[in-house]
Amino acid sequence: MALEIGVIGLGRMGTEIAANLVSAERQVIAYSRRPERVGELAALGIRPTMKLENLAHCDTVISVLPDDNAVREVFCGPHGFASKLRRGAIHIAMSTIGTATATSLANEHTRREQGYVAAPVFGNPAAAKARQLFIVAGGTSTDIRRCQPLFDSLGQRTFVVGSDPAHANLIKLLGNMMTATALEAIAETVAVLLKRGLDPRLFIDILINTMFGGLAHRKNARRMET
């Protein structure tokens, strides 16, 4: 039991992450609010529970909750899950959340003598399933070292950005902004080509094989072809 890793937030990303931990021969206990998911999670080798306090014994808890509100609701406040976790336990927060939330969480855990590592990811559920995530990690070097074997089971590369967890979240948010900007730029260009009666597929082929061969451009451009 002491070696179980807790996972909170068993959605599209969290389920793949928890399943990969099981594949890496970790014992995983996962909190789900929905009874209908219990059978599915158990079939993946995950020990499901509908009681959050059943994760309180874990040395490591990974959250893959949807947003700032959910993370704050679950972890913060006098009765939040941080108050149930043991001293010395570590919380790895993989959600895309704001820097203020990351700083509040880091303070909450530090106050309770617990570790906190922000580890937002670049990728999607398919990449998570294939262990191809890019993990951007922020936290103390001791905490990051402790988490690294788990990151190695979940992603293709971990970028360590320093001791301030919020910096990892800032980079993830800026990355999302750049993806959105790339999408917008491609859409504007395709709109001009269409207005002139031209086939944008030729442009897309030129684009991704010359100056704009990065993932964000390639994926979004290909999507626009269909």
What residues are labeled active site? 172
Widest CA span in the chain: 65
Chain centroid to CA 9: 10
> What are the structure tokens assigned to 5, written together?
């890793």
Q: How far apart are CA 102 and CA 95, in angstroms?
A: 10
C-beta of 12 vs 129, nearer to ligand NAP: 12
**In the complex, least distance from residue 66 CB atom to ligand NAP, rounded to whole angstroms:** 4
Q: Which is nearer to ligand NAP, 73 or 199 (CB)?
A: 73
- Tokens of residue 103, six digits: 């700083």
Question: Minimum distance between the CB of residue 171 and ligand NAP, rounded to whole angstroms?
Answer: 13
* Rounded Cα gap, residues 147 and 86, in angstroms: 17
The residue (of 69 and 142) whose beta carbon lies closer to ligand NAP is 69
Concatenating the DSSP letter of every residue in 195-212 gives HTT--HHHHHHHHHHTT-
Q: Which residue, 10 or 190, is less far from ligand NAP as judged by CB?
A: 10
**Which residues are near ligand NAP by CB under 6 A?**
9-14, 33-34, 64-67, 70, 73-74, 95-96, 121, 123-125
The CB-of-72 to ligand NAP minimum distance in angstroms stands at 9
Which of 111, 126, 220, 116 lies closest to 168, judged by CA? 116
* Least Å from the CB of residue 20 to ligand NAP: 14
